[in-house]
Structures are given as structure tokens and as C-alpha cells.
Amino acid sequence: MRYIGSKKLLLYDIDQMLEHHLTGNERTFLDLFAGTNVVGNYFKGRYTIYSNDILYFSFINAKAIIENNSILRFAGLKKIGIYDPFQFFNDAKNINPVSHYYEKSYTPSGGAMYLTVENGQRIDFIRDTIDEWKFENLITQSEYYYLVSSLIQSVPFVSNITGTYGAYLKKWDKRAFKVLTMQPLNVINNHRRNRAFNENANKLVKKLNADITYIDTPYNCRQYAANYHLLENIARNKKPILNGKTRIFDWTPLKSDFSVKKRALAAMEELIKNLNSQHVIISYSNEGIISFDSLISMLSKYSITGNVEVKALKYHKYESKLKPKNNNLSEYLIYFQRKVLQRKAKKKSIVIATWHPTFKASYIKSPLNYIGGKYKLLSQLIPLFPKSINTFVDLFSGGANVGINVSAKYYIFNDMNNRINEMFRYFAQHNADEIITSIKKRIKQYSLSMTNQNAFLRFREDYNQNPNPLDLYVLSSYSYNYQCRFNNKMEFNNPFGRNRSHFSKNMENNLRLFVNRLHMIDAVFTDKLFTDVDLNTLTDKDFVYLDPPYLITRGNYNDGNRGFQNWGIKQEKQLYQLMNRLTELHVPYALTNVLKHKGKSNDILKDYIQKHNVKVVTLRSSYKNSSYNTSALESNEVLVMNYEPADKKIQR
């Protein structure tokens, strides 16, 4: 989550500063201004955590991942047929908001540009549905906080802002076009009674003791409630009246004295004076509204040893439109001892476990039903890929099912089918709404439907006389099995998909997700033979995925009569030579292929596996039900890798 003042980069330094002061008997850790809870979560494996923040969205997050230790089962939802709330909320066909409060408040529907209309509608539906489930006792209190926090965590990644919600951008940032997707949160179970508070810190310290207290007050006059009003509003879901161009609610009760120059020092002194804690560590800045000298002088007065330890750390500042006068910005970590708390016994040894939710992943599906597409195998493939990828190369990208779902810095999609790549390049240059509007105009112009074969044939003839990428997609939408097929003259020749194929609402949703994702990544599409792609500049930080035509199957790309080069033994051997070259360059690769099919055996591949140091995983799938294969015998499909995949048993 993007959050000003997040201490994620300071965790190691905080830990190191504390380490040489601790006795080993400390049990409790108070994170007094918790924000994103990154500090409390870091120390949760060692201590009972008390998390506090005046902002409700922070409190909800603490209830979900700090106070909660449990694996959440969502048993009540299963009774109504919802086995995975994340899959349910991420499926576009389920989004049907009754209230349009957030849409009208924060999207162009109401004159604002914090979010797209689609994402505003998603927030409306998800937030109100969570409340409805809670009211109907379909989810527990912990499940409620967990789902609301998961929603809150997803919003900044699709927000049209520079970093805070003080204002929205006048032009759309490409991240805003990404469809809001909820992701599960990891939960550490430390077997302790952790607690989350939503109180004024100066009042809370009067009634709470902690062995260690971490204090990260606001540094300047920017009020966090104003900067994160949108998230706070969603968390509370009270739907108040919003004011001004920034669409902000009355946040006066959330105003912090620590962000008021005339009150900040007095507020800090009151906090320290009433603090019941032995070890205290404070984060502050040399640009803070409390001067460094004043702060240290005051802390020294309340230190039981009279000593205050200071460590200065250079860091990158969040920059608004106003450029800072001082470019030499430092974050201070300040340690002192406030009181001595007696502990009679040492801590018990506890086994710590982390719940990594395994809800079904929501993958984006290619808008094309491309022969050999790997959409159904993504849940098996992607976990086996390297976790960190600089450049992802999909050498036989086809419908781009794999690459569009991989996380990388750069992407190269290559396929010799230039017609398909032209379509993807078109999608990358136009937004989803524009594309869908053009598609619907085309459908209306030609009266295309599931039953109007004459309209389809007329449209196909016009396309072949004047090919263009958008019409190719529309044509495939009404073709048999939704496929793209060409004859040797590069004329589209797939027959009409009577009573089945049409541009459905589901296809529209898939297309929108695909296009939005395409706009979020740095990708190029090339139309080369795999032997002509230059891979010599790749390093061990990159990754090449190989999904060639399968030598022993009968996909229509194999017969040499579809306008593209045939795939035979020669090409198969050239591919293995390329794989050897990648290994020499220390570039990791993964190959999908079949070892046997319909009684046939790919002996060339089997021989390659035996003679080379590769890892092989059998994929739980077959092509026995594919339209271009019979169901008599199954295929043995495998993933071949020249690296060690994580968390998988490898079969040789």
C-alpha cells in the first residue's frame, strides 16, 4: 500500500537500534501511530503487539492482520455457495452495485477523477456487500475486518493520484485503468493476545503498559486524515456529504495536534510524560515542525538515564508540487528509556506460523480462444516461474495468456502470426471503452448475431478485402469455437459459429481486463520466427517462456497450410539448440510440451531431457478434450526448466 511515512525501509534500522538495549524478557510492543501496521507486523513474531491509530482504516487493518491470528474459513459464505470471497468480488459478472455513492463521489460520474467509473462501481458493490454479509451473520467479525482491509489495500493501486488523496490528477495515470482486484492478506499467528486500538494516542498511553513503544507521529502540517480521506471514508462506509473539489468529508474530529506547529511539542511532551514503557524508539525528521534541539532536550528530561541515542538516516522524501527547500533530508531514529518495568519470568518459546491464504488466483484470460492457449494451466505454471523477473520473453506468445499474467519489469511477446500481434498492438494503443464502443458499432453495422450466417459471411469477405485488427477480433467473436484461422493466402477462413459464438458480456469483461492490464505493463509485440529473435542480451535476471507448436499433436498451426511456417523435426531441433544457448548465457527458461499423445512419443524431447540438466514437472492437464484432438488417449504434458523452481517436487 502506498502511504506517506511508511517505515517499511526502516525496519532493519529500528530492529538494530533496539537490539543492544533489550534484556530478552520483553513481551509487549506498542505501535502507537501504526498507519499501515508494517512495524507491528514485523515484530509480531517476537512480541504481543498493541497497534493504535486514530484513522479507522488503519485500525481495521490491525484488526485483520495484527489482532487476528486465525485462519479464516468463511464457513457462512460457503452455505450460500460462495467458497472464495476474493474470486467472487474479482469476477466482473458479480458486480451489481445498488448504491452508487463511491462512483458518484470519486469518479467522472460525479465530476471527480480519483477512480474510473468501473472501479467506483466495484467499490460500491464490494463495500456494501461486506456490510450486508456481516448484518446477515454470514461472516464473523474477524472475517469482516479482513475483507474490508483487503478492499482498502487494493484501492491505492488503481487511484489516479500522486501518492495521497489531497487531490486527483487532471490527466489519467495508467495505473488508474487497472481493474481493482482484491488480494488476500497474509496473517502471522504468534499465539498471543494482540490488540488493535482506534484511540487518541495521548489518552491511550495513560491506561496501557508496554515493554517497547514505537512512536511515529506526523512530522509536518499535512494532516493524515485529509491526505487519506477517501480510504477513511470507504473504511467507515457511513456515506457522509462530501465537500469541495477534493470531495472530502468533515474530518475535524481526526485532526492531530502533532501536525499543528503551535501544539506539536506540547502534544509530544504530554505523550512522553504519561508513557508507561521501558524502551522507547521515535521516528522523526529534520524537516519536522518540532525542531531537533527542542525534541532532544525534552526527551532527555524524561529519560531515566538522562541519555538519548540518535541515528540519522538519509531517505527519499515524498514530493508534492512544492519543491523542498532542503534537499538534505534525514530521518532520525531516537532511543531512550522511559521507565523500568519488572518482568519476573522469561518469555516462553513459541512456534510462529504465517497463514498464506490459498484462495484461487484470479487470472486474466486472453480475449482470443487461441489453439494451445495456457489459460487453464496458469495456476500450475506461474508458481513455478522465477519470483523476480526483469524482462519476460514469451517466444511463442499466441493469445498472450501467460505473459499478461506474469509479473515482470519489461515484456516481449513474440509470435510469427503478425495478424494477432497487430490486434494486440491496437489494444495497447486504445483504451477499453473506446475499443468496446467500436466493436458494438461494427456488430450493429453488419447485424451480426449467433444466427445470422449471411451477415457473418459478408463481414468475413469485407475483412479479407481490407484486413484490420479490430475487425479480426469481431470476426473471431462470431466464428466457430471463437478461433482465428487463415488459409495459405492469409485469408480468414474459420466458419460461422452458429447458435454459440457471439460477443457476450463475459467476452466484454475479459477484453476489458486484458486491455487494462496491457496498459499497465511495458510490453512490445514482435512478429519474428523464433530463430530470428535476439536473446543474446538477456541475463540471469530475465526469463524466457517457450510454448511452441507440439510436434506430435494436430493443432491447425502444425499442418503447414494456414499461412504460416510448418513445425517439424527441423524446428524442434532448432528449439533445443536455442535452449542450450540460453543455458550457456545463464538465462532461465521454461518449456511446455508433450512427451506422448495418442500413442505417439516425442522421442526427441525425451532424449533431450535425459542428456541435459533440466527439471521436469508433469502438468495436471491433457488435450484429450480439445476440439482438434480425439478423446481416445490422453497427452502427457510437461514443463521443462533449466533452473530449480521453488516449493515443488520435481520429477525427472
- For residue 402, CA distances in Å to 363, 398, 556 come to 9, 9, 20
Q: What dotted CATH number matches 432-512?
A: 1.10.1020.10
pLDDT at 229 > cutoff 90: yes
Q: What is the pLDDT of residue 635?
A: 61
Summarize pLDDT for 94-152 with one digit per residue, the tens.
999 999 999 999 999 999 999 999 999 999 999 999 999 999 999 999 999 999 999 99
Q: Is 172 exposed, middle or buried (0-12, 13-18, 19+ CB in 10 A)?
A: middle
Q: What value does the CA radius of gyration of the chain take, rounded to a whole number of Å?
A: 29
pLDDT at 459 > cutoff 90: yes
Select from 3.40.50.620, 3.20.20.70, 3.30.1360.10, 3.40.50.150 the CATH code of 363-417+519-652.
3.40.50.150
Buried b (16+ CB within 10 A) or exposed e, 364-394: bbbbbbbbbbbbebbebbeebbbeebebbbb
Question: Is the model's pTM score more than 0.85?
Answer: no
For the ranges 171-175, 317-321, 532-536, which has the lowest average pLDDT?
Answer: 317-321
Nearest partner of 52 among 37, 38, 64, 42, judged by Cα? 37
Q: What is the pLDDT of residue 327?
A: 52
CA dihedral 468, 470, 472, 476 (to 10 degrees): -170
Share of the chain above pLDDT 90, in %: 64
Per-residue confidence band for 622, with pLDDT thresholds at 50, 70 and 90? very low
Q: What is the pLDDT of residue 324?
A: 45
Per-residue confidence band for 359, with pLDDT thresholds at 50, 70 and 90? low
Summarize pLDDT for 416-452 with one digit per residue, the tens.
989 999 999 999 998 888 898 899 999 999 999 999 9
Q: In the chain, what are the domain boundaries?
A: 8-337, 363-417+519-652, 432-512
Distance in angstroms (rounded) separating the CA atoms of residues 586 and 26: 47
Grid coordinates given for 54: 486514530
For the four alpha carbons of 362, 368, 371 and 372, in that order, the dihedral sign comes to negative
Q: What is the pLDDT of residue 149?
A: 97
Q: What is the pLDDT of residue 343?
A: 64
Distance in angstroms (rounded) separating the CA atoms of residues 573 and 569: 6
- Looking only at Cα atoms, what is the longest distance across the chain? 91
Chain length of the chain: 652
Backbone angles phi, psi at 81, to 5 degrees: 90, 10
The predicted model gives 625-636 an average pLDDT of: 44
Distance in angstroms (rounded) separating the CA atoms of residues 4 and 325: 19
Summarize pLDDT for 556-574 with one digit per residue, the tens.
443 444 444 678 899 999 9
Q: What is the pLDDT of residue 354?
A: 60
- For residue 508, CA distances in Å to 275, 368, 376, 437 come to 58, 12, 19, 11
Q: What is the pLDDT of residue 163?
A: 86
Q: What is the pLDDT of residue 322?
A: 43
Instruction: Tell me the HSE value of 544 on the side-chain side, using a 13 A CA sphere.
Output: 28
Per-residue confidence band for 650, with pLDDT thresholds at 50, 70 and 90? very low
Summarize pLDDT for 470-525 with one digit per residue, the tens.
999 999 999 998 888 888 888 999 999 998 888 988 888 889 888 988 888 899 99
Interacting residues of 107 by C-beta distance below 8 A, sequence separation 6+:
113, 114, 115, 116, 117, 119, 120
Per-residue confidence band for 625, with pLDDT thresholds at 50, 70 and 90? very low
Grid coordinates given for 103: 462512483
> Residue 652, Cβ neighbours under 10 Å: how many?
7
Nearest partner of 404 among 381, 422, 430, 433, judged by Cα? 381
Q: What is the pLDDT of residue 553?
A: 78
Q: Are 158 and 176 in contact (CB under 8 A)?
A: yes
What average pLDDT does the structure give for the chain? 87
Q: What is the pLDDT of residue 3?
A: 58
Per-residue confidence band for 623, with pLDDT thresholds at 50, 70 and 90? very low
Q: Which residue has the cell 531515566?
A: 304
DSSP notation for 197-263: E-S-HHHHTTS-EEEEEEE----SS--HHHHTHHHHHHHH------BTTTTB---GGG--GGGSHHH
Grid coordinates given for 578: 536455442
For the ranges 30-34, 238-242, 513-517, which has the lowest average pLDDT?
Answer: 513-517
Per-residue confidence band for 634, with pLDDT thresholds at 50, 70 and 90? low
Q: What is the pLDDT of residue 488?
A: 81
Q: What is the pLDDT of residue 352?
A: 61
Q: What is the pLDDT of residue 222?
A: 80
Pairing label, strands 187-189, 353-355:
antiparallel
Choose between 351 and 496: higher pLDDT.
Answer: 496
> Residue 10, Cβ neighbours under 10 Å: how many?
18
- The neighbouring-strand residues paired with 394 are 413, 545
Q: Is 512 exposed, middle or buried (0-12, 13-18, 19+ CB in 10 A)?
A: buried
> Residue 87, Cβ neighbours under 10 Å: how many?
15
The predicted model gives 400-411 an average pLDDT of: 92
Instruction: Tell me the HSE value of 503 on the side-chain side, using a 13 A CA sphere.
Output: 24
Grid coordinates given for 539: 541475463
Question: Helix, strand or coil for residue 576?
Answer: helix
Per-residue confidence band for 464, with pLDDT thresholds at 50, 70 and 90? very high
pLDDT at 347 > cutoff 80: no
Nearest partner of 187 among 30, 7, 9, 40, judged by Cα? 40
- State how far Cα 19 lies from the chain centre: 34
Q: What is the pLDDT of residue 319?
A: 47
DSSP 8-state symbol, 83: S
Distance in angstroms (rounded) separating the CA atoms of residues 423 and 50: 54
Residue type (1 letter), 2: R
Q: What is the pLDDT of residue 161?
A: 95
Q: What is the pLDDT of residue 560?
A: 40
